[in-house]
Amino acid sequence: MNLFLMRIRWCGVLLASVIAIVATAGSAKAQQHHPPRPPKTLRLYVFDCGVIKGLDPALFNFKPGELATTELAVPCYLIVDPKGTLMWDVGVIPDSAFKDDGAPVTQGVSTATRTLESQLAQIGYAPSDITYLAMSHYHSDHVANANEFAGSTWLVRKAERDAMFAEKPPALVNPATYSELKNSKTVILTTDEYDVFGDGKVIIKSAPGHTPGHQVLIVKLARTGTVVVAGDLYHYPEERGRDVVPTFEYNKEESLASRAMIESYVKKTGAQLWIEHDFIGNSKLKKSPNFYE
């Protein structure tokens, strides 16, 4: 091959390499994630994070037939404020348990059909976009994807955090699902009410008893009105108005006092009380990508 042809071939290889680099850079740029613009008004999204089946009513001090259903819903919630985002409770089955085929995943008595991350992505968000993470309490059916939000600011009460990272963790927890929160930016909530965005519309309220630092979420929506997302203050609507708590309650007296306090708030304000695990009640709520405002 003469020198002229070699130079032509070399130039062709060089040009192809440049084109490939530019194409790769363009593709990467196209794949960069940008969260949606902040809405003008507060929004509340409800995600389907699974269902729990087959529990004995006796665990909740009920007899067979006393409950409309023993199934428990497992929702997750995203609150989007013009000033930021709050993820509230993060499911019973970690996204990492799902396979590429997208088939439902069952672990023990719990089943989930969709990942939390995919539901966030459907409305334009990634875990890295979430400003704050807060959970009603540390039980494993509320914290399965906590590690995915380790980059968010964690809002938690000292008694709850101390229990989660104690040398001997409490019952009904899986420390591996929230281990990365230990080094997260954390705000320890010291008052009965914490105003998340400083505008009085999203309040985390202390309601101990189910666990030492159990808390509920109050969301004041312009059209829907005030909603109390009640964590595990109750599991079934049949518990309301009765001095019945689960057999695994941390402190019965505190739980009953917290229930009375929240019921008083609901009566005074006309707020809706959403029992997170209420399977029938949850089935009537509109799910993401729809939202409440």
What secondary structure does DSSP assign to 105-128, as a single string?
Answer: EEETTEEESS-HHHHHHHTT--GG
Q: What is the dihedral of CA 246, 54, 240, 208, to 10 degrees?
A: 40
Taking residues 46-63, what's their average pLDDT? 97
pLDDT at 205 over 50: yes
How far, rounded to the nearest angstrom, does the alpha carbon of residue 129 sit from its chain's CA centroid? 14
pLDDT at 98 over 90: yes
The closest alpha carbon to 74, from 46, 99, 54, belongs to 46
How far, rounded to the nearest angstrom, does the alpha carbon of residue 17 sit from its chain's CA centroid? 45
Q: What is the pLDDT of residue 54?
A: 94
Question: What is the distance between the alpha carbons of residues 219 and 272, in angstroms, rounded to a whole number?
Answer: 10
Walk across the sheet containing 186-189 and list its strands: 105-107, 110-112, 43-52, 72-81, 84-88, 132-134, 153-157, 186-189
Residues 67-78, buried b or exposed e (16+ Cβ, 10 A)?
A: beebbbbbbbbb
Taking residues 189-195, what's their average pLDDT? 98
Residues 148-187 have pLDDT tens digits of 999 999 999 999 999 999 999 999 999 999 999 999 999 9
Does the 36-283 domain belong in CATH 3.30.70.2190?
no
Question: What is the distance between the alpha carbons of residues 88 and 44, in angstroms, rounded to a whole number?
Answer: 10
Residues 5-38 have pLDDT tens digits of 344 354 443 334 433 433 343 443 335 788 889 8
Percent of the chain's residues with pLDDT above 90: 86
Q: What is the pLDDT of residue 31?
A: 56
4 — pLDDT class (breaks 50, 70, 90): very low
The closest alpha carbon to 235, from 204, 276, 272, belongs to 276
DSSP state letter for 167: S
What secondary structure does DSSP assign to 40-52, as a single string?
Answer: SS-EEEEEEEEEE
Q: Nearest-5° angle of CA 260, CA 269, CA 231?
A: 50
